């Protein structure tokens, strides 16, 4: 279990845990993006795109990355990372520690400039990949691979909800720091 760095941020975290538990945990039979089967699904997009949760998500992820030296931008694989990166960008400006955002497409565009990474210029920059939740870490690692091809120095992966199912080990095996704001213990759920 983690805690935020200030009482105010911990209050944000507890409020977000309540919203997730009440509105974003669905029970049933699900297939995750990793292909794994699950008896519950944590639908963070429901909250990353919700006005009640997005500001707190921005503040909490900003809190996770605040001590990483020289980080200038956050983002990740579209679609899950997009609202998180934008929330962090907006909250970072409000906090006086501006970070830019970027989007990593699943594949490079086949028209225009043919870019795979949109937004902030990442070449030669220290960046953090963000995700709503992760099971195996493969989506984050796909973003890491694309960012490294563009010359970015990826230093960490930050997730809102850690499913405790191997993503952390996969990320750390790539030499990256793993950061999570909420885990399954916080939500009263068991790993599966």
Residue 50 annotated in ligand binding: no
For residue 121 the two structure tokens come to: 């210029």
Residue 162 annotated in ligand binding: no
Residue 111 annotated in ligand binding: yes
Residue 94 annotated in ligand binding: no
Q: CA 80 to CA 1: how far, in whole Å?
A: 23
For residue 89 the two structure tokens come to: 């960008």
Residue 175 annotated in ligand binding: no
Residue 105 annotated in ligand binding: yes
Residue 106 annotated in ligand binding: yes
CB within 8 Å of 136: residues ≥ 6 apart: 34, 36, 165, 166, 167, 170
Residue 133 annotated in ligand binding: yes
In order of 4, 81, 157, 185, 186, the CA distances from 47 in angstroms are 19, 12, 20, 19, 17
* DSSP classification of residue 45: H
Residue 113 annotated in ligand binding: no
For residue 75 the two structure tokens come to: 């983002």
CB within 8 Å of 175: residues ≥ 6 apart: none
Residue 131 annotated in ligand binding: yes
CB 126 within 8 Å of CB 155:
yes
Task: Point out the annotated binding site for 5-phospho-alpha-D-ribose 1-diphosphate.
Answer: 105-106, 109, 111, 131-139
Binding residues for orotate: 135, 163
Annotation: binding site: 105-106, 109, 111, 131-139, 163
């Amino acid at each position: 279990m983690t805690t935020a760095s200030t009482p105010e941020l911990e209050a944000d975290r507890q409020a977000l845990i309540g919203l997730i538990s009440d509105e974003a945990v669905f029970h049933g039979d699900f297939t995750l993006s990793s292909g794994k089967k699950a008896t519950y699904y944590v639908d963070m997009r429901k909250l990353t795109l919700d006005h009640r949760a997005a500001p707190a998500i921005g503040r909490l992820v900003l809190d996770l990355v605040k001590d990483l030296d020289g980080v200038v931008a956050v983002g990740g694989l579209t679609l899950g990372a997009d609202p998180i990166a934008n929330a962090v960008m907006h909250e970072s400006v409000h906090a006086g520690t501006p970070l830019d955002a970027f989007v990593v497409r699943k594949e490079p565009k086949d028209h225009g400039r043919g870019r795979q990474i949109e937004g902030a210029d990442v070449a030669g920059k220290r960046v953090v990949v963000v995700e709503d939740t992760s099971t195996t870490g493969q989506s984050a690692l796909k973003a890491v691979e694309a960012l490294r091809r563009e010359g970015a120095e990826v230093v960490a992966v930050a997730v809102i909800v850690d499913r405790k199912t191997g993503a952390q080990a996969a990320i750390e095996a790539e030499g990256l720091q793993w950061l999570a704001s909420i885990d399954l213990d916080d939500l009263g759920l068991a790993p599966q």
